[in-house]
Amino acid sequence: MNPAPMQSVNDLLASLPPAEWARLAPQLEAVELPLGKVLYESGAAMGHVYFPTTAIVSLLYVMEDGASAEIAVVGHEGVVGIALFMGGETTPSRAVVQSAGQGYRLRAPAIKDEFNRSGPVMHLLLRYTQALITQMAQTAVCNRHHSLDQQLCRWLLLSLDRLNSNELVMTQELIANMLGVRREGVTEAALKLARLGLIRYARGHITVLDRAALEGRVCECYAVVKNEYDRLLPHRLSE
């Protein structure tokens, strides 16, 4: 295993007190997270939790017919695999790398042991879990009550908060799978945003040209999710 050279690249790791960091650092393994990599499948036993640093991971619910919809995104602010320390061991969702990058992983016994100490790590992970549940709930409300272009704005902003650039590498087909809608709907919504000068889309690359305008157009769901992360976690997503 390669110990993590620095903890500041993941907000949760950066928030650990020195004693907890000293225990966990030697057990963290640096990993590449390529686009499309499945970190865990629905119902499968989970062997690790993942702390993304430059990657973004989508949590998806997949139907029996293969249709899917994103229920949350995780980037440098969080951890993938909360079922391990919450006692569930498995989850009905699938975790897939949405934006390629790097991260660290930690074996299941190590995160369970640390959580069961009932110390700072447990409290930090519980706060993060509350923020993640808020994102999942707000995503469900948004998909039910708001327009597709508002959903796309929310998805773009949540993704941008977890990247160090204003460009996403993502095809419209993948976005459609994330949002649980037809590709034609995503195309129409993306073209609408492009005509307004908010984004530029070409060959799987989406560049946000006017973030302020995007924030002005997005529904309330984005602010609800971001404010809850800012309230519960030590590091703001935008930092």
Q: Which CATH architecture has domain 11-141?
A: Sandwich (2.60)
pTM for the predicted model, two decimal places: 0.86
Q: pLDDT value at position 221?
A: 87
Which pLDDT band holds residue 171 (cuts at 50, 70, 90)?
Answer: low
Question: Which segment of 84-88, 165-169, 172-176, 202-206 scores lowest on mean pLDDT?
Answer: 172-176
Q: pLDDT value at position 80?
A: 96
17-28 confidence digits (pLDDT tens) = 999 999 999 999
Which pLDDT band holds residue 180 (cuts at 50, 70, 90)?
Answer: low
Could you tell me the sign of the dihedral formed by the alpha carbons of 129, 177, 42, 29, in that order?
Answer: negative
- % of the chain beyond a pLDDT of 90: 46
Q: What class is the 147-218 domain?
A: mainly alpha
Length of the chain: 239
The domain ranges of the chain are 11-141, 147-218
Q: Cα 76 to the chain's mean position, in Å? A: 8
pLDDT of 2 higher than 50: no
Mean pLDDT, all residues of the chain: 85
Contact 159, 178 (CB under 8 A): no
108-136 confidence digits (pLDDT tens) = 999 999 999 999 999 999 999 999 999 99
Which residue type is seen at 70? Answer: E
Which pLDDT band holds residue 68 (cuts at 50, 70, 90)?
Answer: confident
What is the mean pLDDT of the segment spanning 228-234? Answer: 87
pLDDT of 151 higher than 50: yes
Angstrom distances, CA of residue 212 to CA of 75, 94, 209: 21, 32, 9
Strands (E) across the chain are located at 29-33, 38-40, 48-52, 56-62, 68-74, 94-99, 101-107, 167-169, 199-202, 205-208
Place of tokens 């000293």: 22
